[in-house]
């Protein structure tokens, strides 16, 4: 059985949720899919597709803001200061930039802070 994109990040989400009670002020609680009896995260991010996209993040704790060209549906990135999981408040396709959202391919992606990388066990852009 192949896991969906939404299910891939679930273990890290539940771990964060159980530790602090909520991951983000705008966070939605995981739901149970009655057809498969599996937990799923639905609607945690504006984008719900399968491809990588560009995301904008803002930590609810320290107010730090950042942008990433390695943003995925229902996957977050940890704030480098607070170490809490933050989900993007804005996402758009990589092929439709609107100004500042140009990804710097030479900049290293902090895999240890990326929920997608952690859930896959390897760099999230590998084979995608």
Contact 30, 22 (CB under 8 A): no
pLDDT in tens, 21-74: 444 444 444 443 444 444 455 689 999 999 999 999 999 999 999 999 999 999
* 31: β partners: 40
Give the span between the Cα atoms of 128 and 116, in whole angstroms.
Answer: 12
pLDDT-derived band at 102, boundaries 50, 70, 90: low
User: What radius of gyration, in Å, describes the C-alpha atoms of the chain?
Assistant: 14
Give the span between the Cα atoms of 80 and 44, in whole angstroms.
Answer: 20
pLDDT of residue 95: 80
């Amino acid at each position: 059985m192949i896991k969906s994109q939404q299910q891939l990040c679930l273990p890290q989400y539940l771990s964060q949720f159980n530790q602090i009670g909520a991951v983000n002020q705008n966070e939605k609680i995981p739901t149970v899919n009655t057809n498969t009896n599996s937990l799923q995260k639905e609607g945690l991010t504006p984008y719900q597709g399968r491809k990588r996209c560009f995301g904008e993040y803002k930590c609810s704790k320290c107010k730090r803001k950042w942008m990433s060209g390695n943003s995925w549906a229902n996957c977050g990135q940890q704030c480098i200061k607070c170490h809490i999981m933050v989900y993007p408040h804005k996402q758009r396709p990589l092929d439709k930039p609107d100004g500042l959202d140009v990804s710097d391919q030479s900049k290293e992606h902090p895999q240890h802070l990326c929920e997608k990388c952690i859930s896959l066990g390897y760099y999230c852009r590998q084979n995608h």
